[in-house]
Amino acid sequence: MLWNIAFRTLFHDRGKLIAGLIGVIFSVVLVNIQGGLFFGLIRKASLLVDRSNADIWVGHQGMHNVDFPHGIPERWIHRIRSVPGVERAEPMRIAFSEISLPDGNFEGVMVVGVAEGSDLGRAYDIVEGPSDALTYRNSVIVDQCDDEKLFEPDIGEIREIGGQRARISGKSHGLLSFLVTPYVFTDYERSINFSGGDPSLASYFLVRLQPGIDANDVCEEIRRRLKDVTAVPAEQYAATSIHFWLTRTGIGLSFGAATFLGLLVGLVMVAQTLYAMVLDRISEFATLKAIGSSESEIILLLAAQSTVVASLGIAIGVVITILIRHFFSTPRAAIEIPLGLYFASAGLVFFICLCASALPYLRIRRVDPHTVLQG
């Protein structure tokens, strides 16, 4: 009987039901979209590492962010190549520079120099231009998503980078840095011309291991041979780069605050909906208490109503979230929602809806069942 009362009461006033559903849907969509934007943004902090095809990154001691390297002697790479278990090791350069624009101005860029004939450090996939784009004289690769910043450069167009002649020979897609600075890929030896600096220094050494070799053992041996470097597995350096931005900026706090406000709105709307339904039918609840319904049965009735509102709202919210992600996610504002986030948001919102039923319960507890008998 209680379940029947719960459903009939809930669906009788569709206006209040819709208001409660909107609160749940809003919370689910906001939590997932905010979380997806957060994961999409912070992933850019480790994009070069994630796509480097390397098992180990070696850099100066205390390296903490892939975009801010400190030079190390290039000759050290020979010691790394001699470490047992190392299949291949290549140098990489990352440095800031400027590219000329057609209107006479300049745009800051991050020049990434990768070794010729190796896929280590080649984070890009060429989608426009020849597959061997970097084999051409003075060639560089830019990203299509940076076309607006770079004034729509054409393949074959000549620009200047660091005061040196550069030819746009290819374009990638979706390779954007966490900073606003566009990535420009070029050959390792050529990169020093575009960025200046000491040609005897590299930014990193990228290492590929032989099959079955433990990365941590090789890292330990590299650190033993070269006291002034840090050697870590690629996934660990990716996490370090992400942690750098999380702790040095307010990104996590801002996204978390917005998510909390979304959950708060959902809680208030669901609680208000259930409370209004109780007020409209306070005499019916008094009757239930008068005929002997226990406190646990009343709580079960309210929990059933909260469960229905939460389940319907979560299902609709997840569908809307998937549609938003499909139609609005772009490389600039990527919405990356892991499966775990869907489950976590659903569980959190469901719990909040159950907590929201406490407000109407407190009102029902104060109802005197004798008023019904006296009436």
- 235 domain-assigned: no
Q: Where is the domain boundary, 193, 227, 261?
A: 227
What distance lies between CA 17 and its chain's CA centroid?
Answer: 34
- Cα–Cα distance measured from residue 321 to residue 339, given in angstroms and rounded to the nearest whole number: 12
Which residues lie below 8 Å from residue 348, measured CB to CB, with a gap of 6+?
A: 31, 263
Identify whether 233 is part of a domain. Answer: no
Shared-domain flag, residues 187 and 90: yes
Span 26-70, pLDDT tens digits = 888 888 898 888 888 888 889 999 999 999 999 999 899 999 999
H or E element that contains 231: strand 229-233
| Residue 188 shares a structural domain with residue 79 | yes
Q: Which range among 101-105, 249-253, 289-293 shows the weakest confidence by mean pLDDT?
A: 289-293
Residue 291 has what DSSP assignment? T
Host domain of residue 74: 62-227
Q: Which two tokens stand for residue 105?
A: 């101005």
pLDDT greater than 80 at residue 302: no
More confident of the two residues 118 and 3: 118
Classify residue 29: in a domain, yes or no: yes
The answer as to whether 7 is a domain residue is yes
Q: Cα torsion at 303, 305, 310, 312 (round to 10°)?
A: 150
Residue 127 confidence (pLDDT):
94
- pLDDT, one tens digit per residue, over 318-355 is 999 999 999 999 888 889 999 998 998 898 888 888 77
Tell me: the pLDDT tens digits for 242-277? Answer: 999 888 877 777 777 777 777 777 767 777 776 676
Q: In this structure, is the dihedral angle defined by the CA atoms of residues 178, 179, 182 and 183, taken in order, positive or negative? A: negative
**CA-to-CA dists, residue 74 to 4, 99, 122, angstroms:** 76, 26, 19
- In this predicted model, what pLDDT tens digit does every residue of 177-215 receive, in sequence order? 888 899 999 999 999 999 988 999 999 999 999 999 999
Please, what is the average pLDDT of the chain?
A: 86
Instruction: Tell whether the model's pLDDT for residue 1 goes beyond 60.
Output: no
| CA–CA–CA angle 370, 374, 375 (5° rounding) | 115
Q: How far is CA 368 from the centre of its chain?
A: 53
Count structural domains, the chain: 2
Q: Identify the CA nearest to 231 among candidates 79, 343, 30.
A: 79
Same domain? 79 vs 203: yes
- Together in a domain, 211 and 66: yes
Whether residues 200 and 103 share a domain: the answer is yes
Q: Measuring CA to CA, which residue among 181, 106, 183, 107 is closest to residue 143?
A: 183
Q: How many Å apart are CA 274 and CA 302, to the nearest integer?
A: 8
How far is it, in rounded angstroms, from Cα 41 to Cα 9? Answer: 44
pLDDT of residue 63: 93
**Position with higher pLDDT, 7 vs 200:** 200
Residue whose structure tokens are 């909260």: 306
Could you tell me the maximum CA-CA distance found in the chain, to the nearest angstrom? 97
Q: How many CA atoms within 13 Å lie on the side-chain side of 264?
A: 6
**CA distances to 81, 168, 187 from 195, in Å:** 26, 16, 12
Evaluate if residue 371 carries a pLDDT over 70.
no
Closest CA to 110 of 174, 167, 185: 185
Q: Give the whole-number percent of the chain exceeding pLDDT 90.
A: 54
Domain stops at, among 167, 192, 227: 227
Radius of gyration of the chain (CA): 30
Q: Which residue has the tokens 């291991």?
A: 209
Q: Both 38 and 67 in a single domain? A: no
Does one domain contain both 275 and 157? no
- Output the CA angle 69-70-72, nearest 5 degrees: 120
Burial of 158 (0-12, 13-18, 19+ CB in 10 A): exposed
Sign of CA dihedral 150, 155, 156, 161: positive
Of 79-83, 139-143, 302-306, 313-317, the poorest mean pLDDT is in 302-306
- pLDDT over 60 at 373, yes or no: no
